[in-house]
Structure 1
């Protein structure tokens, strides 16, 4: 509990993603087990849904911002990935 409170103090008592006060969920890297910070329930759940994959999170952000990737067919059944 003391370590969690210390982390929360370093974050000024807010979730580092959405900036809402009083986050309660200790977040960690699922591969290494390393603790990253304290998140609110929604942000912690979102990272879990995205499987901690930054590439997927970047595409999600682009989608929300209206920059939707339109696949380009380059051969039957083969699509060009976004760069």
Structure 2
């Protein structure tokens, strides 16, 4: 699997992939990642919305929840 990717991490091509990434709920393999990318995804709970908010934060556009009622918020998409 690593050889088929040319020895490149699927997220950061400059890094060497050494971890097989998978969905924790199903065990389905997604690809090979370097240690840092695999850890980052895991620490964000495999949550695409958390990753999108992290990207917005890094780009200088932090997300803001939308108030929809007293004490009830909706996250922007």
Same fold by TM-score, threshold 0.5 exceeded? Answer: yes
TM tier, smaller = 0.7 to 0.9
Distance 2:71 2:15 in 1: 47
Residue of structure 1 in register with 2:39 after alignment: 45
Aligned CA RMSD, in angstroms, stands at 1.7
Contact preservation (8 Å) 2:17, 2:34: yes
Residue of structure 1 in register with 2:76 after alignment: 82
**SS state of the match for residue 45, structure 2?**
coil
Give CA deviations for 1:11-62 in whole Å, capped at 9, x if unaligned: 1111111112421111111111111111111101001011111111111111
* Larger helix share, 1 or 2: 1
Displaced runs of 4+ in structure 1, greater than 6 A? none
Gaps of 5+ in 2: none
Which structure has the larger Rg? 1
**SS state of the match for residue 38, structure 1?**
strand
- TM-score when scaled to structure 2? 0.82
